[in-house]
Each structure stands twice: as structure tokens, then as C-alpha cells.
């Protein structure tokens, strides 16, 4: 009798364990794998690495590094986290993909790095990763939710950040949705008009525009960074905006989306940044440089129009919040304008 009773019980336990295994992260098509001791969360799609959310002590902000296409092509620059031969080593604060700003209550979060002079540190800001709220994989998407603090060079907490990332991918695409809510703390927070912002990617050398001369770029604090002329072998990137602006003409213009297309070796690649109508300052301005900086900045109309538009000086009162929504899409093909429009409509039709 005891054996007859135990058999159904054993079968029931086996069934429950089978369900548990079926729902385990190891069997998710899209895996989100935290490793807090290593200061990273790895994103794996169909068994292949896509990207990692990392907060190394050498960086003053969390970043995604590197970003890969569905075919495994790395589309971001290696420097400063993993330098590669033949790539640029300017702008040490340009690491992978990040989110911050050049003038928040007059503190510079964008340009901060280990290269900053000690005497300039009080003028800078850091975005400090605080905790992983949740991390889960799935069949169609994976999600990561985090909290960070925006700390000034005078050790003041001025913004609390809560961000949800959604990861998707198929045989020809990878994407990250970023939904970031910033909440002012005990004082008013002003994002002064500054070209250095907001969502940025530093792309691989092949996706830069061919460089025919050295250039010098100066930030809002007057610090100059020299960008050398480089070997143009295999360099073929080109920007295109939703308004038809191409190449260098994309910089400082507005649009619903901007794509950067080119080949890495023989592999075609498109990186798209898609803006959202619910974002402040929509449609965004494109801080898109031929040397490989690809950024969306909706908060600096005066800067990007050379003073023709009034300053926005976007402001949050104490305890007030704002949410920014973006999608970064990586395709293993050269996307057409029609395909970019379709991707944009798909993104903006979601309810998130």
C-alpha cells in the first residue's frame, strides 16, 4: 500500500521539478545573467553573447559594452575598456553605450573619466550603479531593471535613476529599449543647454566616416580634444536621419530616428537610435560625429541651432520626475529609410 501511494507522489514531484527546469534561466532564449561580484550583467540571445551591462570602477557611469550584431560583429569601439589595434584613443569617457549629460546643475557628468585632472574633479559628476532591481529572461524578450544615483563632484545626490532595459533579438537583429526615469531629490535640477548628451554610443572604427584631416573638438568647459586623421582602410560609415540628412549634415539636426550604416569587414551593419514622441524635446537633435560618436540629445536647442532657438534649460523641481524612452536597434544589413521608418513605428506603437 505504501508503494502504491508513493508512486503518484513521486510522479507529482517529478512533474513539478520538470516545470521548474523548463522555467529556469538556462533554457530562456534570451538570458539576462547577473554577476554582481564581477560588476556585470551578461545578455545572451540564442546562446550567443549580445552585450553586457557593466559598472567597472574605472568608469564613472554604467555602460553597455560591447554591443554585437546578431552575427556576432562588435559594433562599438574597444577603447578605453578593451583597446584594439588601429582604433582611436580620444575621448576616454566614450565607452560602449551610456546615458548622462554635460551640464546638470553646472556639473559635467558626460566628460568625466580617469583622465580628468584632480583639480577639475569637483566640477564633474558620476552616475553610480546602486542595485539590480530585477533581471529575467524569456522567449521573446529579456528585462533588466536597475537603480543608479547621480552624484555631483561635491558629493551631492541630485538625481535618482530607475531604468528598465528590454532586450530582443532574432536571426538578423538585436535591440535594447531603455526606459529611464530621473527624479530630482531635495533641490531643483537644471539640465542646461549643452551639446554633450544624452544617450551616446561610440562605434567601431569601420563605422566611422573616412577622415581626411585631424580635428579638435571643445566641450562646454573649454577643454579641447584632438581627433587625429586615421587610416581609412575599411572605414565606410554614413549617417542618415528621418529628415534625409546624410553624413556630417546630420549633426545638429532633428529627427525621429537616425541610422548609421556601413560594413565591418564584409559584414553589413546598421545601428539605429529611435526617439519617442513622449520624450522631452522631441524630436531629438543628433549629436552625430564622423569620428564615431553617435548620440541623441533633445535638451540643447540653443547649442544645436547656434543660438537661433532659445535655450531649453530643462528643469525638474524638487522631487519631480521625467522619463526618457529610446530604442537602439542593430541590424545585420544596410537598412533603407523605409525600413527605419517601419522600425520607428513599431517602437512608438508599444505601450511602455
Domain at 333, CATH number: 2.70.98
Q: Is the dihedral of CA 153, 158, 164, 170 positive or negative?
A: negative
Span 137-159, average pLDDT = 98
Span 277-295, average pLDDT = 98
Evaluate if residue 318 carries a pLDDT over 60: yes
Q: Which domain holds residue 306?
A: 2-348
Evaluate if residue 8 carries a pLDDT over 70: no
What share of residues in the chain are helix, strand, coil (percent, to 5)? 15, 40, 45
Exposed e or buried b for every residue in 5-26, given b needs 16+ CB within 10 A?
A: eeeeeeeeeeeeeeeeeeeebe
Query: Minimal CA–CA distance to 43: which of 150, 128, 152, 169?
Result: 169
Query: Minimal CA–CA distance to 328: which of 180, 166, 171?
Result: 166
Total structural domains in the chain?
A: 1
User: How many whole angstroms separate alpha carbon 240 and alpha carbon 257?
Assistant: 9
Span 275-286, average pLDDT = 98
The answer to whether 140 touches 123, Cβ cutoff 8 Å, is no
Query: Minimal CA–CA distance to 352: which of 174, 219, 177?
Result: 177
Query: Minimal CA–CA distance to 165: which of 305, 42, 287?
Result: 42
Where residue 217 falls among pLDDT bands split at 50, 70, 90? confident
User: How many whole angstroms separate alpha carbon 78 and alpha carbon 129?
Assistant: 22
Evaluate if residue 129 carries a pLDDT over 80: yes
334 burial type by CB count under 10 A (0-12 exposed, 13-18 middle, 19+ buried): middle
Evaluate if residue 219 carries a pLDDT over 50: yes
Amino acid at each position: 500500500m505504501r508503494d502504491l501511494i508513493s508512486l503518484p507522489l513521486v510522479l507529482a514531484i517529478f512533474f513539478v521539478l520538470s516545470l521548474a527546469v523548463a522555467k529556469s534561466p538556462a533554457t530562456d532564449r534570451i538570458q539576462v545573467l547577473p554577476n554582481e561580484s564581477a560588476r556585470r550583467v551578461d545578455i545572451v540571445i540564442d546562446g550567443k553573447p549580445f552585450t553586457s551591462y557593466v559598472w567597472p570602477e574605472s568608469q564613472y557611469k554604467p555602460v553597455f559594452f560591447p554591443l554585437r550584431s546578431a552575427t556576432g560583429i562588435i559594433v562599438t569601439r574597444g577603447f578605453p575598456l578593451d583597446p584594439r589595434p588601429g582604433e582611436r584613443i580620444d575621448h576616454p569617457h566614450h565607452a560602449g553605450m551610456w546615458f548622462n549629460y554635460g551640464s546638470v546643475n553646472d556639473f559635467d557628468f558626460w566628460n568625466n573619466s580617469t583622465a580628468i585632472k584632480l583639480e577639475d574633479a569637483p566640477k564633474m559628476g558620476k552616475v553610480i550603479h546602486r542595485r539590480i532591481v530585477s533581471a529575467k529572461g524569456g522567449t521573446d524578450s529579456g528585462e533588466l531593471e536597475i537603480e543608479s544615483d547621480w552624484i555631483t563632484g561635491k558629493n551631492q545626490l541630485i538625481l535618482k535613476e530607475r531604468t528598465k532595459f528590454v532586450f530582443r533579438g532574432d536571426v538578423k537583429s538585436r535591440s535594447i529599449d531603455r526606459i529611464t526615469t530621473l527624479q530630482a531629490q531635495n533641490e531643483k535640477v537644471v539640465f542646461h543647454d549643452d551639446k554633450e548628451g544624452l544617450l551616446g554610443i561610440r562605434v567601431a572604427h569601420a563605422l566611422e566616416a573616412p577622415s581626411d584631416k585631424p580635428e579638435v573638438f571643445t566641450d562646454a568647459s573649454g577643454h579641447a580634444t584632438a581627433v587625429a586623421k586615421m587610416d581609412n582602410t575599411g572605414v565606410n560609415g554614413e549617417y542618415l536621419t528621418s529628415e534625409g540628412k546624410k553624413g556630417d549634415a546630420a549633426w545638429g539636426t532633428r529627427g525621429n530616428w537616425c541610422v548609421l550604416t556601413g560594413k565591418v569587414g564584409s559584414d553589413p551593419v546598421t545601428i539605429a537610435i529611435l526617439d519617442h514622441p513622449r520624450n522631452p524635446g522631441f524630436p531629438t537633435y543628433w549629436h552625430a560625429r564622423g569620428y564615431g560618436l553617435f548620440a541623441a540629445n533633445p535638451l540643447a536647442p540653443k547649442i544645436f541651432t547656434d543660438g537661433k532657438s532659445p535655450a531649453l534649460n530643462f528643469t525638474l523641481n524638487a522631487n519631480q520626475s521625467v522619463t526618457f524612452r529610446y530604442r537602439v536597434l542593430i541590424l545585420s544589413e544596410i537598412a533603407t529609410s523605409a525600413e527605419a521608418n517601419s522600425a520607428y513605428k513599431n517602437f512608438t506603437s508599444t505601450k511602455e
